[in-house]
Amino acid sequence: MTEAPSIADRDSISKRESGVTEKSPMRLRMEALIKEKQSEIVAALQKLDPENKFRTDTWSRPAGGGGISCVQQDGNVFEKAGVNTSIVYGTLPRPAIEKMRVNHKAIDPDVDSLEFFAAGLSLVLHPQNPNAPTVHLNYRYFETMDNDGKCNAWWFGGGTDLTPTYLYDEDAIHFHKSIKDACDKHDRGYYPRFKQWCDKYFYIPHRQESRGIGGIFFDDLDSQEKDQEQLFSFVKDCLSSFLPGYLPIVTKRKDMPFGEREKQWQQLRRGRYVEFNLVNDRGTSFGLNTPSARVESILMSLPLTARWMYMHEAEKGSREERMIGVLKQPIEWV
């Protein structure tokens, strides 16, 4: 007796035969969206540095799904830039189901395992110039399904945040305004709520400071928040706001003069970035603990170089001290 095709196999056949339309399941629409946005973002970043081509790796997972990793290293503009998509089909064991039911009551409590699907676009850009800020973005969709592929619980998560080495107020205002405009199209309460969530999430407890100057962060947005179409439209607008929010900043800063002092300070701030990602970030931890995870793609977020100095203190009245002050006490930029 032949085995019934998996949900991943059936989705592949559906995409091949009918393409992806507005009537397709949300998992296929989200997959199409993140691949489209990945291509758009990589093309825009490539124009900043045409000589150094992005390396593109396409990979697949045995249980279904896979991803595309686009990475540029040691370029003229970015020390390291990674733009990744990931599609995962898998099975949730009973303990994971119980944990997820805390936030998602639609999940069936009486099963020992559940099929799931996850899709996400993740991006981290670490510029060469200390005057240009690091930026992070991640938007994702998760659903659980019964054996015939019918969705029984779903949610969206994501956000974007800026991590400058040196603070330029106009850059912070521009970045926050662009993401606030995207939020305001859907709900005027989103930006203040998700900015506060971001400030709280990207905090390094052992340093008692934030990783950067924030942006937005949200998770577990499901039908208790808004309907699926409204939330998908919100995520689309957030993704579309990324290039207008970040490109003008990096374009303005990438060729500014800097010296050894600025480079050393950048390396120290990169060390903090590494600390947060390896110690505090739930996404990194989840990724590394997922069976047959692609470790290279998960650790793409780490900078190429970083530095730790014993008992380093910023000079009184310096730009470095001002940066630390804002990281210890987040600001309302817009």
> pLDDT tens, 295-332?
898 899 999 999 999 999 999 999 999 999 999 999 99
- Which residue from 119, 136, 116, 118 is spatially nearest to 127, judged by alpha carbons? 136
CA 268 to chain centroid, in Å, comes to 22
**pLDDT given at position 293:** 78
pTM for the whole structure? 0.94
**pLDDT given at position 1:** 54
Contact 172, 212 (CB under 8 A): no
- Which residue from 113, 147, 151, 125 is spatially nearest to 30, judged by alpha carbons? 151
User: Is residue 136 annotated as a catalytic residue, yes or no?
Assistant: yes
**Is residue 260 predicted with pLDDT exceeding 90?**
yes
Low-confidence winner among 12-16, 106-110, 278-282, 326-330 (lowest mean pLDDT):
106-110
Write the CB contacts of 36 (distance below 8 Å, at least 6 apart in sequence): none
Other beta carbons within 10 Å of 142: 22
**Is residue 201 predicted with pLDDT exceeding 90?**
yes
**pLDDT given at position 288:** 83
| Rounded Cα gap, residues 293 and 61, in angstroms | 9
Q: Is 158 left (phi over 0), alpha (psi -120 to 50) or beta?
A: left
Residue among 104, 126, 136, 176 flagged as catalytic = 136
Running DSSP on this structure, what letter comes out for residue 289?
T
Task: Give tens-digit pLDDT for 135-169.
Answer: 999 999 999 988 777 888 999 999 999 999 999 99
Q: What is the DSSP string of 263-276?
A: HHHHHHHHHHHHHI
**pLDDT given at position 115:** 87
Mean residue pLDDT of the chain comes to 93
The predicted model gives 33-43 an average pLDDT of 98
Q: Is 49 left (phi over 0), alpha (psi -120 to 50) or beta?
A: beta
Query: Which amino acid, one-letter code, is at 329?
Result: Q
**Is residue 26 predicted with pLDDT exceeding 80?**
yes
**Is residue 64 predicted with pLDDT exceeding 90?**
no
The predicted model gives 164-177 an average pLDDT of 98
Contact 251, 48 (CB under 8 A): yes
| Rounded Cα gap, residues 167 and 131, in angstroms | 8
- Which residue from 220, 203, 222, 221 is spatially nearest to 161, judged by alpha carbons? 203
Contact 276, 209 (CB under 8 A): no
- Which residue from 254, 239, 130 is spatially nearest to 178, judged by alpha carbons? 239
What are the backbone dihedrals phi and psi of residue 133, each rounded to the nearest 5 degrees, phi first? -80, 150
| Half-sphere exposure of residue 158: CA atoms within 13 angstroms, side-chain side | 29
Nearest 10 degrees: Cα torsion 187, 193, 195, 199: -170
Other beta carbons within 10 Å of 315: 9
**pLDDT given at position 2:** 62
Instruction: Please give the residue that has the higher pLDDT: either 64 or 279.
Output: 279
- Helix (H, G, I), strand (E, B), or coil: what is residue 155? strand
The predicted model gives 42-61 an average pLDDT of 96
- Which residue from 160, 158, 163 is spatially nearest to 180, judged by alpha carbons? 160
| Rounded Cα gap, residues 100 and 107, in angstroms | 8
Tokens of 111: 């099963």
Residue with tokens 């380093």: 312
**pLDDT given at position 283:** 83
pLDDT > 70: percent of the chain: 99
